[in-house]
Amino acid sequence: ARRRSLVVCCLRQVQPKNVLLFCECMAILQPFLELHNLTPLLCGAAADEQYAEKCRQTLQSACPSSEVITSFMGPDDLAHIFSHTILNVHTAVYEAYGMTIVEAAAFAAPSVLHFEDIGASELLPAISVKHAEAHTDIPDRHTDMDTHTEIGADIDAKIDTPHRHTDTDTDIDNTRPGSSFPADMRASAEELAATIRVILSHPIRLRAVGEEAKRRAMARGEEAFSADLMRHVTMS
């Protein structure tokens, strides 16, 4: 099965998108990422060249194996990236919608999002605190302590989850544990790094959230998805 090895931030490189936070966080996590053969990838237009250069330097000086893409990416490029993504880190503190969050979800790549004011979180609600508390031990190895599952391995395996009380319009099961991870993107890089480290240290939960994100993203038909997007655009 495909091994996912990319920790991705796919946003325009401008201050309102808070991309520098991702770069600082990856710098803090560099030993952990290297241990688990994970590669940070920053992709998005360098709309603010000075800010983008600061982001690039922060990331690549600490993580020499990291990748930075500022050129235009079409659907095939994004598909290739997200199909190899283990976690999408969306650092913006506000999004009317957040299209790349849903695009990542379509490839079973879950996102960690600001805990409020992100439009796509209506479609991809965050994992509950109760569910997260069931996974509080953080192993410092290649494998999950209990399951010996390698981080990033076999992410596309089927996850068996009970089906109850589905949404009548989209057949989305609202009893499932969540389809994204919450974080405070106004917090320090150290705090976000700690959150991401916890997320990445539990591959079974990570895979389950990714599969639920994919199910929810694919359950939305084109018409419903367009209606959601237009509603958020008109409200912004």
Q: Which residues contact 62 (CB under 8 A, 6 or more apart)?
A: 26, 27, 30
Q: Is pLDDT above 50 for 119?
A: yes
Q: Is pLDDT above 70 for 158?
A: no
Q: Is pLDDT above 90 for 66?
A: yes
pLDDT level of residue 222 (50, 70, 90 thresholds): low
Q: What is the pLDDT of residue 79?
A: 95
Percent helix, percent strand, percent coil in the chain, to nearest 5: 40, 15, 45
Q: Which residues contact 179 (CB under 8 A, 6 or more apart)?
A: 105, 110, 123, 124, 125, 126, 127, 209, 212, 213, 215, 216
What is the share, in percent, of the chain residues with pLDDT greater than 90? 69
Q: Strand order of the sheet with strand 6-10?
A: 67-69, 39-43, 6-10, 85-89, 111-114, 181-183
3-state secondary structure 135-185: CCCCCCCCECCCCCCECCCCCCCCCCCCCCCECCCCCCECCCCCCEEEECC
How many Å apart are CA 229 and CA 236, to the nearest integer? 11
Q: What is the pLDDT of residue 210?
A: 97
Arithmetic mean of pLDDT, 115-132: 84
Q: Which residues contact 116 (CB under 8 A, 6 or more apart)?
A: none
Q: Which amino acid is at 216?
A: R
The mean predicted confidence, pLDDT, of the chain is 82
Q: Is pLDDT above 60 for 99?
A: yes
CA atoms in the 13 A half-sphere facing the CB of 181 = 28
Q: What is the pLDDT of residue 89?
A: 98
What is the share, in percent, of the chain residues with pLDDT greater than 70? 72
